Amino acid sequence: MAGESSRRPRFAVLGAGMAGILAAIKLREAGHRDVVIYEKADRPGGTWRENTYPGLTCDVPSHTYSYVFEPNPEWSQQLAPGPEIQAYLEGIVGKYDLDVLIRYGQEVVRCSRDDGRWQLETRSGLRDQADFVIAATGVLHHPRYPDIEGLESFEGACFHTARWDHGVPLDGRRVGVVGNGSTGVQLVCALAGRASRLFQFQRTAQWIMPARNRAYSEEEKASFRADPELPRRKLASGASGALFERFNNAIVEPDSADMKEMQRIVLENLEQSVTDPVLREKLRPDYMVMCKRLVYSPDYYRAIQHPDAELVTGGIERVEPRGVRTHDGRLIELDVLALATGFRVDQFMRPIRITGRGGVDLEDFWAVRPRAYLSISMPDFPNFFMLNGPNGPVGNLSLIEVAERQWEYIETLIGLVLSGRAREVCVSREAMQAFDQDRIDAAKRTVWATGCSSWYLDAEGIPASWPWTYQRFQEEMRAPRLEAYELVG
């Protein structure tokens, strides 16, 4: 480092999920040895450690949800079950001997810029200093609990799907599922036929994209072992690649032919899969496809039509000791109530108290909405970089691929400091402001702004995700535009 060539730079990574594991591997690969990962839990995995509910499945193809440098020919099926992904990540931690870097059970509560370094403190009182901080805390880790009257009065088992209680029996029980996003849909698919009665409480209907989830044969796995790049090539050239391109274009051009085709696919799926006209209308959304995060499922419509399953659309009035009371006065008696109500996606690194240069507080900087330049850097937070931070590509994309592209970009910024060209680097205030305004303007023209309520929207109703094509994101990640950055010598 400039003026400090005798001291090795220290890197602190926040989180041992998918992105934190990536950062640690790449830092070691670059020759850095003073690396530490702070993890609040007792093992790695991030969202795949937190979520263990029945039916948990990744909704992007297995072979794209793995590191490019660590392909996995052993995925059991096209959409990997959650336990397989967790095992994959734990296997990577073992292979790269990352456990020696990870401080388990150490939740960072404070991170402040002082005397040219980052000062960190954990809940247990451990203190540390770092030259660089890599925030890899993820998005889906703070459960969102519904504001339902009487929820605490329920006498049965009640828990958020991200805090699943595996000690609670499900077979032959009366189970209620609150929510019908990807988690609620997967849960219904897993429990239909197991529960004696299964009730799904739906507030807003979802468009369901049909998805194949065929098991891979042993012959296919053998071919993947022989040619690790084969699965990605097949995906890119096949129907999945074409669907991704169509999906990508439809987001930014709601009036496009690609959007019309996406709408045709999901509408046909609904019309051909649900025989009961009353149920079909309950399941029919009144908004454009992809306005909400698109739900992929090979068997949801079959599951919700199971004789023991019921879709409840009357709205929840309150929860009572014996079950759920709907607005029409009906009491649905339950033994188990699962809350598939998602996450607080605006948290990111919070509730860590993060203070940048000159005492700039992250809470003040994010007072209106979480924001970051290219989801990586923020003004006045030098040598502090994020993987999968605010305003990046999220949704029906492989966040592993997103993080890998971001890391290549971040490595270049780190190199500016290590080469002595600068002591501190972060995006300038002017570039941040210009980017944010451009992003907001573009977001208002995307499908996410066409009139539905979703977790893509910030507190002011503006879509918070990357509002341009994925190709543009790839191009941005090729190299930083240094004129956008403030380099302090």
pLDDT tens digit sequence for 4-31: 445 799 999 999 999 999 999 999 999 9
Which phi and psi angles does 462 have, rounded to 5°?
-100, 130
User: What is residue 446's predicted lDDT score, i.e. its pLDDT?
Assistant: 95
* Number of other residues whose CB lies within 10 A of the CB of residue 125: 8
Supply the pLDDT for residue 141.
Answer: 82
Residues 99 and 303: their CA atoms lie apart, in Å, by 41
Cβ neighbours of 185 (radius 10 Å)? 27
**Residues 36, 128 contacting (CB under 8 angstroms):** yes
Domains 11-142+344-488 and 144-206+294-342 agree in fold: yes
Contact 332, 176 (CB under 8 A): yes
Residue 417, pLDDT score: 97
The residue count for the chain = 489
Do 294 and 395 contact (CB within 8 A), yes or no? yes
d(CA 488, CA 2): 10
- Residue 28 to residues 25, 411, 435, Cα–Cα distance (Å): 5, 12, 32
pTM of the model: 0.95
CA distances 154 to 101, 144, 145, 319, 338, Å, are 43, 18, 15, 6, 12
Read off the pLDDT band of 224 (50, 70, 90).
Answer: very high
For the segment(s) 144-206+294-342, the CATH number from 3.50.50.60, 3.30.420.40, 3.40.50.300, 1.25.40.10 is 3.50.50.60
Label residues 399-424 b or e (16+ Cβ within 10 Å = b): bbbbbbbbbebbbebbebbbeeebbb
Give DSSP secondary structure letters for 88-113.
HHHHHHHHTTGGGTEEET--EEEEEE
- The token pair that represents 143 in the structure block: 């459960």
**pLDDT range class, residue 107, cuts 50, 70, 90:** very high
Reply yes or no on whether the pLDDT at 399 is more than 50.
yes
pLDDT-derived band of residue 395, with 50, 70 and 90 as boundaries?
confident
Instruction: Express each pLDDT in 279-317 by its tens digit.
Output: 999 999 999 999 999 999 999 999 999 999 999 999 999
Q: Are 128 and 120 in contact (CB under 8 A)?
A: yes
- How large is the average pLDDT for residues 49-72? 95
Sign for the CA dihedral angle at 413, 140, 473, 426 comes to: negative
* Cα–Cα distance measured from residue 214 to residue 412, given in angstroms and rounded to the nearest whole number: 40
Give the ranges where 218-369 is alpha helix by DSSP (H): 218-226, 230-237, 239-252, 257-273, 277-282, 300-304, 362-365
| Rounded alpha-carbon distances, angstroms, from residue 361 to 41, 353, 356, 364 | 26, 8, 6, 5
Q: Describe the crossing of helices 257-273 and 239-252 by its angle, rounded to 10 degrees.
A: 120
Structure token pair of residue 114 = 């002082």
Least confident of 282-296, 323-337, 349-363, 386-400: 386-400
pLDDT digit string (tens) for 434-485? Answer: 999 999 999 999 999 999 988 889 989 999 999 999 999 999 999 999 999 9
Question: Which residue, 46, 30, 28, is CA-closest to 387?
Answer: 46
Query: What DSSP character marks residue 149?
Result: T
Mean pLDDT of all residues belonging to the chain: 95
Domain boundaries, the chain: 11-142+344-488, 144-206+294-342
Q: Which residue has tokens 């993820």?
A: 138
Q: What span, in angstroms and rounded, lies between the C-alpha atoms of 125 and 215?
A: 48
> Does 228 score more than 60 pLDDT?
yes
* pLDDT score of 413 more than 90: yes
d(CA 162, CA 189): 17
Kindly indicate the confidence band of residue 244, based on its pLDDT and cuts at 50, 70 and 90. confident
Is the preceding omega at residue 351 within 30 degrees of 0, hence cis? yes
Least confident span in 84-98, 207-221, 236-250: 236-250
Whether domain 11-142+344-488 has CATH 3.40.50.620 = no
Kindly report, residue by residue over 134-173, the tens digit of the pLDDT. 999 988 888 999 999 999 999 999 999 999 999 999 999 9
- Is the pLDDT score of 3 beyond 80? no
- pLDDT of 240 over the 90 cut: no
Q: What is the mean pLDDT of residues 207-217?
A: 95
Say yes or no to pLDDT of 352 above 50.
Answer: yes
What mean pLDDT comes out for the span 177-187? 97
Q: What integer pLDDT is reported at residue 6 of this predicted model?
A: 53
pLDDT of amino acid 455: 85
As a whole number, mean pLDDT of residues 90-117 equals 97
In the structure encoding, which two tokens stand for residue 276, read together?
Answer: 């009961």
Residue pair 445/467 in contact (Cβ under 8 Å)? The answer is yes
